[in-house]
Amino acid sequence: MLNLKKNTPRWVIVIIDLLIHLFALSIAYLIRFDLKADFSLIQSEWEILSKSLWFFITTKLIVFGIFQIHQGLVRFSSTADFKRILLAETVATMIFIIGGLVRFYQLDGYYLYPNSVLVMEFILSTALIISGRFAVKLLYLEHTRDKGPQEGILIFGAGTAGQLTKRLIEQDSANNQFVVGFVDDNKALRGKRIDGIRVYLLENLQELLTKKQVQTLVIAVQELQTKKLQELAEIALSLGLQIKRVPEARTWVNGSFQVKQLKPIDINSLLGRPVIEVQNPKLSAHFEQKIVLVTGAAGSIGSGIARALLQQSCQKLILLDQAESALYELENELNEIYPNTVVDYVIGDICDQGRMQKLFKTFQPQIVFHAAAYKHVPLMEANPAEAIRNNIGGTQILAQLAAENQVAQFIMISTDKAVNPTNVMGASKRIAEMLVTQLNEHHPTAFITTRFGNVLGSNGSVIPLFAKQIAKGGPITVTDERITRFFMTIPEACQLVLEAATMGSGGEIFVFEMGEPVKIIDLAKKMIQLSGLKPYTDIDIQLTGLRPGEKLYEEVLSNAENTVPTYHPQILIARTREAIQGQEDLIGALLKKANDQENEASVKIMKQLVPEYISNNSTYQKLDQQ
């Protein structure tokens, strides 16, 4: 018995194919005589055939050799192989017809083979050769497939990508998956069969789960709208299905991909709103041949801004951070992706005035993106002086140097936590906003602020934390089941920051339309489900209580503010209250107290500067009662 997992010698396949052809030729003769030929008739036909049988065998061997029919492995036969077999059989038959005409008119007056025999032999040979290979392929796939419990898969999208996905899954002997059917929105396809399996509508999903062993929905549509992706994800997750996606076509190799490239969809795809897109032709012109400095460049937002700027035509990019290892990793990444760009990587602390003066004198930046900041609420609540020194003092040093060196634009990255702050971190960012807005009134440099909410996947955000907790088997920790946050992706945030830079003339606080807030506990549940697990069953969710300074929900605008629209529907300008009297002196006193590590006295001054700053779940709540 042939071993399906080993290569059968080629000569064996050649002999089998030759025997199939001789068998087909014999059956064709029998059919010609209605299966009733007597011995004398057979003998007379054989006398004619025997003279040309060598021509039949030789022709078949030569033609099949020319078309390389026996070069491939039978168990891996494809549609292309079947097409070659059909073409080879056609060519051989045409040679027999031409040879028959030559023999009839030039030699002994007999045809090589009756035309009816040739037609029947062609049909039988082609059918037997192709079906034989197809049968071997099916036997091989079945023989080598994992015999463990099988996982049913539905493929959304019955188009080319969907059909390719189906074939790849079936051909991958290393997995135990089988395709139950296609799911498609096109009602005209309902009940039809494509590539051997049935097409269902999305509304049949619940019914299929009860009848079939479906565990996974694979999305095979390349250009799928975000709204549709969210709808599919919500339906699949509510039914307990895993949801995976076919990789982007640009990552395919030779028009195909591997089954292992099917990955769970990214949580970024489930924001609950359409993805923010910026397509502004003015971006390149705005940054063309400019020297641009990015502070906090090794952080999530800073590095995202750097990547976005590298797609523009900057003359030079200066990336500043005090985190040596993170900046080194960013350097390696960007050098690999953008080998021909001019980028300087600078280690330095924004609170070190001498170092910053040297930086501005050496590089003379024309545009500054200020993303360096301490951002973790509980840590800053425990270390107010450091939050003030870095977020306010560091910003003041950079902003003043920008003004002194006649920088064209200074764009500061702020946060929604600066609105009606309940913690030291948010209050420090609000004071930094006030500081740069006031500087804008006295200097030609355009000081611009951009304010947005949480960024999915950024360093220290809930997404990486939840991913680590899931990888460890749980539990996922959520501070409060009511807590909500606004979210956007890193590319969205960075593109909007660049867009704000092109439209800002100075003094604006740009706020971004963030959509509806997301409940953190719902985010946790979705991440668990996207990992193929069940919340509270496979991975527990524990409520730990609000952390110091944390509030249940964030705001983009305070009650005392309103907005003015811009030409971009998702970018607004906040109108804030006037600066309080003696703001500059208070900020100076605040920085002095922070440098002296007088935490309580520092927070007290912060509350004077930001009257709406009311501490929550913090030791500094007592200052609100004084």
Residue 78 is predicted with a pLDDT of 66
| Percent with pLDDT over 90 in the chain | 25
Encoded tokens for 6: 């080993």
573 vs 570, residue with greater confidence = 573
Residue type, 443: H
**What would the pLDDT profile of 326-359 be if each residue is shown by its tens digit?**
999 999 999 888 887 889 999 999 999 999 999 9
Residue 489 is predicted with a pLDDT of 78
Distances (CA, A) of 225 to 205, 261, 508, 562: 20, 21, 33, 32
Q: Is the dihedral of CA 95, 96, 100, 106 positive or negative?
A: positive
Give the pairing type, strands 446-452 and 562-565.
unpaired
At 76, the pLDDT band (50, 70, 90 cuts) reads low
**What would the pLDDT profile of 130-139 be if each residue is shown by its tens digit?**
777 777 766 6
Does 569 sit behind a cis peptide bond, omega within 30 degrees of 0 on the bond before it? no
Number of residues assigned to the chain: 626
d(CA 33, CA 4): 39
Lowest model confidence (mean pLDDT) among 26-35, 61-70, 506-515: 26-35
Helix (H) or strand (E) holding 177: strand 177-183
As a whole number, mean pLDDT of residues 559-566 equals: 66
Residue 565 is predicted with a pLDDT of 77
Note whether 500 and 411 are within 8 A (CB). Answer: yes
Give the long-range contacts of residues 303-306, CB within 8 A, separation 24 or more. Answer: 303/330, 304/490, 304/491, 304/493, 304/494, 305/369, 305/371, 305/494, 305/497, 305/498, 306/330, 306/334, 306/343
Note whether 170 and 141 are within 8 A (CB). Answer: yes
Encoded tokens for 319: 């990336």
Q: 306: closest CA among 281, 278, 338, 279?
A: 338
| Percent with pLDDT over 70 in the chain | 82
Q: Nearest 5°: phi and psi at 538?
A: -85, -40
Residue 362 is predicted with a pLDDT of 95
SS3 584: helix
Q: 288: closest CA among 398, 408, 405, 401?
A: 408
CA–centroid distance for 299 within its chain:
21
At 588, the pLDDT band (50, 70, 90 cuts) reads very high
At 626, the pLDDT band (50, 70, 90 cuts) reads low
DSSP secondary-structure letter at 535?
A: B
Residue type, 410: F
At 107, the pLDDT band (50, 70, 90 cuts) reads confident
Residue 176 is predicted with a pLDDT of 67
Lowest model confidence (mean pLDDT) among 87-101, 432-446, 482-496, 565-579: 565-579
d(CA 393, CA 387): 9
Domains and CATH numbers, the chain: 10-144 (no CATH), 151-265 (3.40.50.720), 282-620 (3.40.50.720)
d(CA 343, CA 340): 9
Note whether 476 and 534 are within 8 A (CB). Answer: no
Give the pairing type, strands 193-194 and 197-200.
antiparallel
Distances (CA, A) of 190 to 184, 216, 245: 8, 20, 22
**What would the pLDDT profile of 146-202 be if each residue is shown by its tens digit?**
555 567 788 888 877 878 888 777 776 566 677 888 888 777 788 788 877 888 887
Note whether 123 and 85 are within 8 A (CB). Answer: no
d(CA 118, CA 393): 93
At 426, the pLDDT band (50, 70, 90 cuts) reads very high
Distances (CA, A) of 77 to 129, 137, 163, 334, 568: 11, 7, 17, 43, 55
CA–centroid distance for 403 within its chain:
41
Note whether 19 and 62 are within 8 A (CB). Answer: no
Residue 111 is predicted with a pLDDT of 67
pLDDT at 607 over 50: yes
| Beta-carbon contacts of residue 137 (< 8 Å; ≥ 6 apart) | 74, 75, 76, 77
Q: Nearest 5°: phi and psi at 530?
A: -65, -20
Active-site residue flag, 36? no
At 295, the pLDDT band (50, 70, 90 cuts) reads very high
Lowest model confidence (mean pLDDT) among 223-227, 493-497, 599-603: 223-227
Q: 503: closest CA among 447, 444, 567, 575?
A: 567
d(CA 301, CA 372): 9
Distances (CA, A) of 361 to 325, 356, 401, 406, 437: 25, 9, 10, 11, 24
At 274, the pLDDT band (50, 70, 90 cuts) reads low
Residue 250 is predicted with a pLDDT of 63
65 vs 280, residue with greater confidence = 65
Residue 49 is predicted with a pLDDT of 67
395 vs 575, residue with greater confidence = 395
Q: Nearest 5°: phi and psi at 407?
A: -65, 140
Residue 2 is predicted with a pLDDT of 47
Residue 593 is predicted with a pLDDT of 92
At 518, the pLDDT band (50, 70, 90 cuts) reads confident
The mean pLDDT value of the chain amounts to 81
Number of Cβ atoms within 10 Å of the Cβ of 328: 14
As a whole number, mean pLDDT of residues 39-59 equals: 69
pLDDT at 69 over 80: no
Looking at mean pLDDT, say which of 54-63, 69-78, 147-156, 283-292 comes out highest: 283-292
> Which is catalytic among the residues 417, 526, 551, 607?
417
At 559, the pLDDT band (50, 70, 90 cuts) reads very low
Residue 404 is predicted with a pLDDT of 94
Q: 431: closest CA among 410, 411, 417?
A: 417
As a whole number, mean pLDDT of residues 57-64 equals: 81
d(CA 547, CA 622): 17
pLDDT at 603 over 50: yes
Lowest model confidence (mean pLDDT) among 77-91, 270-284, 440-454, 584-598: 270-284
Lowest model confidence (mean pLDDT) among 25-29, 349-353, 371-375: 25-29
At 430, the pLDDT band (50, 70, 90 cuts) reads very high
**What would the pLDDT profile of 235-268 be if each residue is shown by its tens digit?**
777 777 778 877 776 666 666 666 666 777 766 6
Helix (H) or strand (E) holding 320: strand 316-321
